[in-house]
């Protein structure tokens, strides 16, 4: 079985059916049963945590494919029931009240909320958490391909660029960039691919068109993932 996780770019947002999303297309190409836990608005904390939790419990997973999200997204434990429909369904069953920051910004305002986010730590934690997940996969003989759905290059000035100088000195990062199952944000992302290859993509968000989902699945299969 192949397991997918990500945000709206992998959930099939704007499509008439989520069955037309690229993860479904890819699974069918590989003739493998699949589970797609991608949900719109997800941050990397949720994607990596829920993936780890799921593969520990489910022994039938042979491969995972993750399209990670914006490094600027963070989670907050939010008791306000107004936001609980934004909690990942699998984690809600476990009692989670973790909500992605963007939903809270709509209530509290961008400037008021964003000042509490430590973006530099988000960058550091991302590489550490990805490395930890790859080590779990290796121990369980699970194949993996992990990349970014969006362009996270330098955060558009939102964080101190010196943080990457620190990250690049970490052994976890040095190991990751040698790993063929991991694509760093400087190498490849879905949005950059869409800009060059999907003329029908969403004009604002660059979400893939229906044809784009088909073509992207083929591209991933032929270039990064083999049965």
Using 50, 70 and 90 to split pLDDT, how confident is the model at 69? very high
- The lowest-confidence range among 62-66, 97-101, 206-210, 221-225 is 97-101
Using 50, 70 and 90 to split pLDDT, how confident is the model at 155? very low
Q: What pLDDT, in 10s, does the model give residues 122-136?
A: 888 999 999 999 999
Q: From edge to edge, which strands make up the β-sheet containing 2-6?
A: 34-36, 2-6, 63-68, 143-148
Mean pLDDT of the chain: 86
Higher pLDDT, 179 or 188: 179
pLDDT the model gives residue 186: 78
Give the Cα separation of 227 and 221 in Å (integer). 9
Going by C-beta distance under 8 Å and a sequence separation of 6 or more, which residues neighbour residue 186?
A: 153
Q: What pLDDT, in 10s, does the model give residues 13-59?
A: 788 888 999 999 999 999 999 999 999 888 899 999 999 999 999 99
Ordered by start, the domain boundaries in the chain are 2-72+121-223, 75-116
CATH numeric code, 2-72+121-223: 3.40.50.1110
Give the Cα separation of 138 and 127 in Å (integer). 17
Question: What pTM, to 2 d.p., does this model score?
Answer: 0.89
Q: Hey, which residues does 67 pair with through a beta bridge? A: 6, 147
The whole-number average pLDDT for the span 101-125 is 67
> Which pairing describes strands 75-77 and 34-36: parallel, antiparallel, or unpaired?
unpaired
- DSSP three-state, residue 49: helix
pLDDT the model gives residue 162: 80
């Amino acid at each position: 079985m192949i397991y997918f996780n990500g945000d709206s770019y992998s959930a099939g947002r704007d499509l008439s059916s989520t069955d037309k999303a690229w993860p479904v297309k890819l699974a069918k190409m590989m003739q493998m049963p699949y589970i797609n836990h991608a949900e719109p608005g997800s941050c990397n904390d949720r994607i990596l945590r829920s993936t780890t939790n799921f593969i520990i419990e489910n022994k039938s997973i042979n491969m995972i494919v993750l399209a990670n999200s914006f490094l600027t997204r963070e989670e907050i434990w939010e008791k306000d029931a107004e936001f609980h429909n934004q909690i990942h369904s699998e984690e809600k069953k476990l009692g989670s009240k973790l909500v992605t920051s963007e939903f809270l910004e709509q209530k509290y305002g961008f400037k008021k909320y964003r000042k509490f986010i430590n973006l530099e730590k988000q960058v550091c934690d991302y590489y550490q958490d990805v490395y930890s997940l790859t080590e779990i996969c290796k121990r369980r003989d699970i194949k993996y391909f992990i990349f970014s759905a969006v362009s996270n290059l330098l955060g558009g000035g939102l964080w101190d660029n010196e943080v990457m100088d620190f990250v690049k000195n970490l052994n976890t990062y040095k190991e990751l960039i040698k790993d063929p199952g991991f694509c760093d944000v400087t190498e490849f992302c879905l949005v950059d691919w869409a800009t060059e290859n999907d003329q029908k993509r969403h004009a604002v968000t660059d979400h893939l068109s229906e044809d784009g989902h088909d073509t992207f699945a083929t591209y991933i299969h032929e270039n990064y993932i083999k049965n």
